[in-house]
Amino acid sequence: MDFSAVPLPPGTFTIGKKFGFEAGHRLPGLPPEHKCSRQHGHSYEVEVVLTAHSLEEPGFVTDFGALVPFKKFLDTELDHYNLHEVLPVEPTSERLAQFLAGWFSQNVQPTIPGRLVAVLVRETGSSWARFDVEGR
């Protein structure tokens, strides 16, 4: 079969990369009777979503290896910490996703070809929050 006749349609390429870290937190803004106002922990899963209209050689939106600084940040600054003690915002999944998008945009985005679209934070296997970065 000759695959050279298969047309390559125009469009956008999107990739995602997952990272994990362990951390505790509490949400002091909640009433004392709410279970999340008490100290507890999660095995967080964070996914960054990147997009590009064209690919860098050899055919990447962004080389996954170029995302190592984000993993190092999670490992050194958030892993096994109390998030309410280290973050400048109350550590809900929504605000954590927004904070991580801001950190990524400031520290990783300038060094890579792909553009950050979203950050997804998963606290458990059944709950997540996603922050979508507005286009630039």
Catalytic residue among 36, 47, 56, 94: 36
- Look up tokens 């190592």; give the residue: 68
Task: Return d(Cα 82, Cα 31) in angstroms, integer.
Answer: 19
| Catalytic option among 34, 40, 53, 80 | 80
Query: Is residue 134 annotated as part of the catalytic site, yes or no?
Result: no
Q: Please give the torsion angle defined by the CA atoms of residues 8, 53, 45 and 125, in that order, rounded to the nearest 10 degrees.
A: -50
Q: Return the residue matching tokens 């909640």.
A: 30
Q: How many CB atoms lie within 10 A of CB 114?
A: 23
Spatial distance between the Cα atoms of 53 and 9, rounded to a whole number of angstroms = 12
Clarify whether 36 is annotated catalytic. Answer: yes
Q: Is 123 part of the annotated catalytic residue set?
A: yes
Catalytic residues: 36, 80, 123
